[in-house]
């Protein structure tokens, strides 16, 4: 036997021996009790939350991921690390078959991220306790396709939104609960004027209105949405499009019916009817604003009914600003988008590039025909 053949035989022998060791390691494990596994599952999820917070993700993003994991865990009935690709096939192919693509994507991404965490942090422990080798059940064959923001949102027209707020405004004179109705009206109108997210509106304080900045005053949005789930992204929003008049009316004529101390630090711009222990008003929740808009739309814009949401008003604002002549960079700054491509998705239903090109093309064709006729 040549030296090279001998070396090859030795290497192959060492490789087989190494594989035998690996097989032996997987065969010898100490099964944990049900109580130990339950405690480990709780600790693992707590560690996952802490790791994502350490990465700088916003609390809302982390809550969303944990909510997705809880939905899958409830359906599966066992710890998620027991899931196999066939289980994921059944869940995403049957249980979530008719769900929106955004829901399916977000849930699969949360599951994939959790398995990545388990593999990086707890692979050895899980093998010792269960004998399982961690492997994500989401693969290239069953990974949900699509995009979270694939839905095309076409906002109502300017006359329709005008009719909504005209009817809603006239309702204020006769409604049973003036203050909360006026608050919901003001918040929704502000969303339509400067494109705030509903969560951003809920997080505003009275002190966040900077009347002395710029030509109209500005809003200091401290809880803006960060890119890719990162922490809050602050911005200054000018009170254009009549937003300054909307807020002045609300603060001068309505706000005092919720609270009597405009100077209190942290006083919310949009208060709740509920009170804190010291008698001051709590901050309104986004559900109250969403429901207020939905109820008003069903009465004053029945063609939209439940379809009109705060986010649709944000799209309406972007489209209106674009139609009024604001450039994309300015609209991006108002809306607080990280990428100009996101802003373009908000206003593309109003763009007329194709129509303009068609008109220009027909004019050129008409001139050519005119020359031929002569």
183, 197, 300, 315: the active-site residue? 197
225, 300, 315, 322: the active-site residue? 225
User: Quick one: three-class SS letters along the chain?
Assistant: CCHHHHHHHHHHHHHHHHHHHHHHHHHCCCCCCHHHHHHHHHHHHHHHHHHHHHCCECHHHHHHHHHHHHHHHHHHCCCHHHCCHHHHHHHHHHHCCCCCHHHHHHHHHHHHHHHHHHHHHHHHHHHHHHCCCCCCCCCCCCCCCCCCCCCCCCCCCHHHHHHHHHHHHHHCCCCCCHHHHHHHHHHHHHHHHHCCCHHHHHCCEHHHEECCCCCCCEEEECCCCCHHHECCCCEEEECCCCHHHHHHHHHHHCHHHCCCCCCCCCCECCEEEEECCCCCEEECCHHHHHHHHHHHHHHHCCCCHHHCCHHHHHHHHHHHHHHCCCCHHHHHHHHCCCCHHHHHHHHCCCCCHHHHHHHHHHHHHHHHHHHHHC
Is residue 311 part of the annotated active site? The answer reads yes
Is residue 248 part of the annotated active site? The answer reads no
Nearest to 318 by CA among 278, 347, 280, 350: 347
Is residue 114 part of the annotated active site? The answer reads no
User: What is the distance between the alpha carbons of residues 279 and 317, in angstroms, rounded to a whole number?
Assistant: 36
Name, in order, each residue with C-beta under 8 angstroms of 108's C-beta and a sequence gap of 6 or more.
Answer: 88, 92, 138, 143, 144
Is residue 197 part of the annotated active site? The answer reads yes
Is residue 314 part of the annotated active site? The answer reads yes
Q: Give the up-direction half-sphere exposure of residue 258: CA atoms within 13 A in the CB hemisphere.
A: 28
114, 314, 315, 322: the active-site residue? 314
- The residues annotated as belonging to the active site are 197, 225, 311, 314, 337, 346
């Amino acid at each position: 036997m040549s030296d090279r053949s001998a070396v090859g035989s030795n290497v192959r022998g060492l490789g087989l021996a190494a594989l035998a060791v690996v097989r032996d390691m997987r065969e010898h494990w100490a099964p944990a009790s049900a109580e130990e596994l339950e405690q480990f599952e709780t600790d693992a999820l707590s560690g996952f939350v802490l790791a994502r917070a350490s990465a700088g993700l916003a609390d809302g993003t982390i809550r969303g991921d944990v909510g997705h994991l809880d939905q899958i865990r409830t359906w599966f009935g066992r710890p998620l690390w027991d899931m196999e690709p066939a289980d994921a096939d059944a869940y995403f192919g049957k249980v979530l078959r008719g769900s929106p693509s955004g829901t399916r994507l977000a849930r699969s991404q949360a599951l994939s991220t959790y398995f990545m965490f388990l593999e990086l942090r707890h692979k050895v422990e899980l093998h010792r306790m269960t004998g399982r080798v961690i492997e994500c059940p989401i693969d290239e064959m069953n990974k949900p396709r699509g995009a979270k923001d694939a839905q095309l949102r076409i906002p109502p027209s300017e006359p329709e939104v005008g009719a909504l707020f005209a009817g809603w405004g006239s309702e204020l004179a006769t409604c049973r609960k003036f203050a909360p109705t006026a608050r919901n009206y003001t918040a929704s109108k502000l969303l339509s004027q400067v494109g705030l997210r509903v969560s951003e509106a809920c997080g505003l304080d009275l002190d966040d209105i900077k009347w002395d900045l710029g030509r109209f005053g500005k809003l200091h949005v401290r809880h803006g949405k960060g890119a890719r789930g990162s922490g809050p992204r602050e911005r200054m929003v000018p009170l254009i499009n009549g937003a300054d008049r909307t807020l002045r009316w609300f603060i001068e004529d309505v706000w005092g019916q919720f609270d009597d101390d405009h100077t209190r630090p942290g006083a919310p711009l949009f208060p709740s009817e509920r009170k804190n222990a010291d008698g001051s008003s709590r901050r309104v929740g986004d559900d109250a604003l969403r429901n207020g808009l939905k109820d008003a739309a069903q009465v004053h814009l029945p063609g939209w009914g439940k379809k009109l949401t705060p986010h649709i008003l944000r799209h309406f604002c972007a489209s209106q600003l674009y139609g009024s002549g604001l450039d994309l960079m300015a609209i991006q700054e108002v809306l607080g988008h990280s990428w100009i491509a996101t802003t373009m998705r908000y206003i593309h239903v109003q763009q007329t590039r194709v129509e303009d090109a068609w008109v220009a093309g027909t004019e050129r064709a008409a001139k050519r025909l005119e020359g031929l006729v002569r």
